[in-house]
Chain A
Amino acid sequence: MTSSTLTRPARVDLTFKQKLARFDYRVSPYLYIAPFFILFALIGIFPIAYTLNVSLYDWHLLKGQGDFVGLNNYVSVLSDPFFWNAFRNTISIFLLSAIPQLIIATGLAALLDQALRGKTFWRMSILLPYIVAPVAVAVIFAQIFNQYHGPVAGLLEAFGLEPIRWAFDVLPSHFAIASMVNWRWTGYNALILLAAMQAIPRDVYESAALDGANKIRRFWSITVPMIRPTLIFVVITSTIGGLQIFTEPKLFDGRTNGGSDRQFQTIVLYLYELAFPRRDFGRASATAWILFLIIILAGLINFAITRAIRTADAKPVPIASGPTAAQRAKGAAS
């Protein structure tokens, strides 16, 4: 109290304008970023916390809150074979989409990185699938992969091949769904990787070319190592997205929640089935939290890998003639 009254006289001299400027200087930055955080608290933190609350109760979708059951919902979800089925499906669809996607996107980016005519045209073109609403993509692909009268079925028939049960067999359905994801995200990732490639100094390529490295060698020895941070970014973001996949498998067969026999039920679809047709909001919320933790875990693993790669990069290349640390240690022991 006393100290503030003591300091006050000094401030009295400030004009209103000065005060305003001071206020502006101190507070404005926070105000500028506040909308994001307010919005994030409203639609991010609050739902997450509320879901945690719901997951601890016996909670009927329509009738609402019931008895407190502690971690029972978590136990029952984790002991439900359907959950593990959904877990396997999610991982399988994720691998089927992420791996080819990354390879194709890198290849596409490398092609676009060449001196092409109409650069902007090509770059925009590969982004087009990203603009299309995922619902529309899913509806179109569900038609394409219709087991009975889709064009793919027709093609197989024309070649005298056995029909593939796209919506009934596990692996074909995962393949069909992964192809929707790939179609939508490959171009987008290619552009991100392209940006990374463009940032590589051209003289590195030139000197490599002078040393006699051909295009393929330059790609593997220069491009790939230098875009690695971006590649890791792409992997992390696609892991987060891939684990939450919902629209594509839901609309692949809209009348079911991931196939009549849960052939392509992902974790979010499992959650959806619990929440709506089965109206068990408590267990659905527990599933949401389990998924949240799985994603955090996947993120941590990604992070660890990234760090491992970085430290590996940072290590100085051992001089061929000098003894390695292991050798030195061995020598000291003997």
Chain B
Amino acid sequence: MKTSRRRIAASVAGVATLALLATGCAASGSSDGGDKGDKVTLSITTFGTMGVDANYKKYMEENPNVTIEATNLEGGGAARDDAYAKIAAGTGLSDIVAIEEGWLGTIAEVSDSFVDLRDYGIEDKKDTWLDWKYEQGTDADGRVIGAGLDIGPQGLCYRGDLFEAAGLPSERTAVAEYFGGENATWDRFFEVGQEYKDKSGKAFYHSPRFFWNSFVNQQKEGYYKKDGETLNIEGNDVLKDQFVKIVEAEKAGLGAGLPGWDVGPEAKEGKYAVYMCPSWMLGIVQGYYDEGTTDSGWDFADVLPGGSANWGGAFLGVSESSEHKEEAAKLALWLAAPEQQAASFELAGPYPSTVEGQKLVADTKSAFFNDAPIGEIFAARSEGVIAQVKGPEDSNIQDNVFGPIFDRVSQGEITDGETAWKEAMKLLNQIVG
């Protein structure tokens, strides 16, 4: 049976190869005519809920010769593997590729797969971006390979209705105060969690993964030292202490034992009451509900246990293999411009990485999050925040070392902090060492 499957696969691959050859020739033939005025199809690959799609239509209306072919992948991990595979193959990257902060460091190692946006005038607009965001998109040789889209200041998504039912404050400023306001700590967060658990009998959060990520991002140096090369995990007591605290919280039943993502049905059932929300997460929580929902009970508070920090954020790069670099760079820079960042924010929540964009959204409120003034809150949450230096294995460590360990903890397989940490170090050495 499988022989025929393979044969079918083989013939399909064969046909595809021929098709590729054919289109390859066709494409290179047509590009000789130059980009000006000709009909151009630009492909773009994004992931998650970036809100970039809010702008495609407008661009195509303003530039009738351009057709945008958009692909959106489910998550950053899928986008990462996709980009790696295509860089390795030397072909297949879309004209514009969205790159996540967590694996930008890896891409920078082979930055010649992407064009230097300075050749397309990004330097003239340098001042519009936050300095550190522009800096992140620049490789060691000074080539600018990514135009900053969003940044990931974090606040706390919480269920006002569930908080109220449990007798906790439910109004967003009162909630922020209750967690400690500007001086909110993780200890206080777990205390409130315990209180919620005691009063409602229900779990407080869905998975420890996100709180861990937030915590790691709050440190001056995360999984890597500032040089972006030396690992900073083993023997790091700050990380270990927090790790052990999370295991304790899990033992106390504060977590719902759910996976990190795709937990919409459980949200609707009220199985958890808070969600760690970097700006780009708003769209994900919102995506758990039908479009236009306003009575989900979710609200958004201006507080983050442990203090402000950045988690994530994306860039747009133009692939070197693109047939229409000029047009693609123009579109990428346009999509990363303040007005378009603002439109993305209003659609899905990723907070602008440009000063001007942040000003444009200062008054934006979110109907889904109980009319929370998200523009104002993120402005407060991003004050003085600079993203941490990421190393080449950052996203790998997050997904494949700590992710699985926390799953085992929240499934009750490991109940002791020391043991869990040892397991994590073992895994770390197997995967990265």
Contacts and interface: CB of A to CB of B under 8 A. Distances in A.
Interface of A: 39-40, 42-44, 61-63, 80-82, 148-149, 165, 167-168, 185, 188-189, 192, 234, 237-238, 240-242, 244, 254-257, 260-262, 273, 276-279, 281
A257 B431 CA distance: 13
A80 B433 CA distance: 12
Contacts of A80: 430
Given A43-B13, A255-B78, A260-B407, 12 more contacts: A39-B14, A42-B14, A148-B263, A185-B1, A237-B2, A237-B3, A254-B78, A255-B77, A255-B261, A257-B400, A261-B407, A276-B81
Interface of B: 1-3, 5-6, 10-11, 13-14, 17, 74-75, 77-78, 80-81, 84-85, 87-88, 106, 109-110, 113, 258-261, 263, 265-266, 396, 399-400, 403-404, 407-408, 411, 430-431
A148 B258 contact: yes
Nearest to A168: B411
Given A149-B266, A168-B407, A261-B408, A277 B80 contact: yes
Contacts of B75: 254-255
A62 B403 contact: no
Contacts of A168: 407, 411
Contact of A234 (B1, B5, B408): B1
Contacts of B407: 168, 260-261
A245 to B, nearest CB: 10
Contacts of A277: 77, 80-81, 84, 396, 399-400
A238 B2 contact: yes
A63 B108 CA distance: 11
A259 to B, nearest CB: 8
B1 A279 contact: no
A62 B109 contact: yes
Contacts of B404: 256, 260-262
Contact of A148 (B81, B84, B265): B265
Given A240-B3, A241-B1, A62 B106 contact: yes
Contacts of A40: 10
A240 B1 CA distance: 10
Contact of A81 (B5, B109, B411, B430): B430
Contacts of B3: 237, 240
A32 to B, nearest CB: 16
A43 B17 contact: yes
Nearest to B87: A62
A263 to B, nearest CB: 10
A165 B109 contact: no
A254 B430 CA distance: 22
A206 B400 CA distance: 63
Contacts of B396: 277-278
A242 B6 CA distance: 12
Contacts of B1: 185, 188-189, 192, 234, 237-238, 241
A168 B263 CA distance: 16
Contacts of B80: 277
Contacts of A281: 88
Contact of A254 (B10, B74, B84, B265): B74
Query: Which has the most chain B C-beta neighbours within 10 Å: A39, A188, A192?
Result: A39
Nearest to B89: A61
A61 B411 contact: no
Sort A-B residue pairs by CB-CB distance and give the 7 closest, nearest first.
Answer: A241-B2, A260-B407, A149-B265, A260-B404, A276-B81, A62-B110, A237-B2
B84 A43 contact: no
A44 B10 contact: yes
26 contacts: A43-B13, A43-B14, A61-B84, A62-B84, A62-B88, A62-B110, A82-B430, A148-B258, A167-B259, A237-B3, A240-B6, A244-B2, A254-B74, A254-B78, A255-B260, A255-B399, A256-B403, A261-B407, A261-B408, A262-B404, A276-B84, A277-B81, A277-B396, A277-B399, A278-B396, A279-B106
Nearest to B113: A62
Query: Which has the most chain B C-beta neighbours within 10 Å: A62, A262, A276?
Result: A62
A118 B81 CA distance: 48
Given A62-B84, A241-B2, A43 B10 contact: yes
B5 A241 contact: yes
A81 B13 CA distance: 34
Contacts of B14: 39, 42-43
B110 A148 contact: no
B91 to A, nearest CB: 14
Given A148-B266, A192-B1, A255-B75, A61 B430 contact: no
B178 to A, nearest CB: 29
Given A62-B109, A241-B5, A254-B78, A278 B431 contact: yes
